[in-house]
Amino acid sequence: MSSSQSNGSSAPKGLTKDNINPAVLEVSYAVRGELALKADKYAHQLADGEGSDLPFDRVVTANIGNPQQKGLDQRPITFWRQVISLLEYPALMEEHIELAKKMYPEDAIARAKSLHEEIGSVGAYTHSKGILGIRKRIAKYIEERDGYAADPESIFLTAGASAGVSLLMGVALQKGDGVMIPIPQYPLYTATLAYLSATPLPYYLDESGGWSMSLDSLKKTISDARGSNTPTKALVIINPGNPTGGCLAEDSMRDVVQLCYDEGILLMADEVYQANIFEPESKPFVSFKKVVRSMSKEVAEGTQLVSFHSISKGTSGECGRRGGYFELTNMREEVVEQIYKMASIMLCPPVTGQVGVDLLVAPPKKGDPSYELWHTETSTTLANLKSRSQLMSDRFNALPGMSCQPADGAMYLFPQIEMPQRALDEAKKRGKQPDVMYTLDLLDATGICAVAGSGFGQAPDSYHIRVTALCPGTEEYIGKIEQFHKDFMSKYQ
């Protein structure tokens, strides 16, 4: 007999909200929060033929960077799907090889055969760090990108970059440790810190300066943390930015590296949008690995860095395949051992996600049978993303009470809304943040699902929304936002 039965208590049996891990209750994740749940409800109503009274005929998912999602429909890279399909059904490369030759270009077959020899069945576990041959090719990719050597043993394949962030933070942080995060930021970081009972230490990006980063702001955050006796353990940089689309200048990156070295802070570089660069000549992507290695010997060898990359973004958009990696730079072996131990608990990352990383870092080369199609597909995707982003920022900036910094890269915009006082009063009456009210009303009126800026963090008394530049039919999509915004401002002026 349980103690609750024996003492006559009426306490509920099993798990309740009051007896689960209290850290879970502190976790929030705006990208898939209240707004996304309501959008799903509307989508289901429309799919079931029950949405005839809704003022829209489809839900536009502008809340998440999920390029291949139904409705956004970014075209998968043909070479990727060819190679992976052969690995899923290797009989095509064996007893049905003549049929395969009619269906696939020779370089896709050769790549699949080579991977099959390394991996065997994609249904089997791999090494917990990931397949060694793939890690070697990642190292080669990093060396060619940066001009500095990379060690395959310092590279861990992961189930997307998010899994790598969670793993590293779980190893690095003790309860109460502080982590510097940009504001605005991708809510993965605040959610993970809440779960680990660690402390976010915000530093504000300069919106008027194109979401630039200030060394003074970073130093102030460290000083404030010291004042509250919070150990500053790590600094997160998202470059190019999410949700801002800003790309850091190399001088700013050098300041960050020097600061991390001086303060003994782990630098965590989220670089998953490195292929989404709109003006590579004037605002190129430069990796933090390259910056670290290019500095003085003491800094180059004494700055601890973890760099993250993913197949979910770029021009591949293979979010559901869950593939990514991180590289450790200047990490002590005793810590690497603990990271490896924790990675081993999860056995291994998804194998076709690992294959996706291999295809990311070693695509078809010029002269290969698949190169021209691969080049056309990837360049078209990037060009579409750039043109949509520019069109959207131009149109947002033309609206009364809205301003938007153009994006240098990534796949989002983060326009600011000047909320009229009556709108602030109405939001207070509803018990909502003003930008949450705005996005919920936008969804109700148009079927467009955006995310409130408060879910990413924003300067006090400012209000934003984050929208993706992934949606096809941009003219119609932006036109609906424009009309809603004008009606909203008119209603509350």
- Give the domain ranges of the chain: 27-74+375-492, 125-361
Average pLDDT over residues 309-327: 91
Predicted local confidence at residue 81, as pLDDT: 95
CA angle 83, 276, 331 (to 5 degrees): 85
Which pLDDT score, from 0 to 100, does residue 9 have? 58
pLDDT at 311: 94
Q: What is the pLDDT of residue 28?
A: 65
Bridge partners, 317 (sequence order): none
With 90 as the cut, is the pLDDT of residue 93 above it? no
In which band, very low, low, confident or very high, does the pLDDT at 5 lie, cut at 50, 70 and 90?
Answer: very low
pLDDT band of residue 14 (cuts 50, 70, 90) is confident
Q: What is the mean pLDDT of residues 446-465?
A: 91
- CATH number 1.20.1730.10 given to 27-74+375-492: no
pLDDT, residue 297, reads 96
Would you say residue 493 has pLDDT above 90? no
Q: Model confidence at 4, in pLDDT bands (50, 70, 90)?
A: very low
23-27 long-range Cβ contacts below 8 angstroms, 24+ apart:
23/194, 23/195, 23/196, 23/197, 24/195, 26/194, 26/195, 27/191, 27/194, 27/195
Contacts of 247 (CB under 8 A, 6+ apart): 239, 240, 241, 277, 283, 284, 285, 408, 409
What's the confidence (pLDDT) of residue 414?
93
Q: Which CATH architecture has domain 125-361?
A: 3-Layer(aba) Sandwich (3.40)
Rounded mean pLDDT, 1-24: 64
pLDDT value at residue 319: 83
CB 2 within 8 A of CB 406: no
Residues of the chain above pLDDT 90, percent = 68
pLDDT band at 208, cuts 50/70/90? confident
Q: Give the residue-averaged pLDDT of 432-449.
A: 93
Assess contact for 268 and 216: CB atoms under 8 A: no
Q: Which of 43-57, 236-250, 303-317 has the lowest mean pLDDT?
A: 43-57
Vertex 284: Cα angle to 264 and 62 (nearest 5): 90
- In the predicted model, what is the mean pLDDT of the chain? 90
Mean pLDDT for the stretch of residues 468-490: 89
Q: Confirm if 249 and 287 have CB atoms less than 8 A apart.
A: no
Share of the chain above pLDDT 70, in %: 96
| Contact predicate 169/177, CB 8 Å | no
The pLDDT, as a whole number, for residue 6 is 47
The phi and psi torsions of 324 (rounded to 5 degrees) equal -170, 180
pLDDT class of 188 with cuts at 50, 70, 90: confident
Q: Supply angle C-alpha 242, 33, 191, rounded to 5.
A: 60
Q: Give the separation between CA 257 and CA 299, rounded to whole angstroms.
A: 8
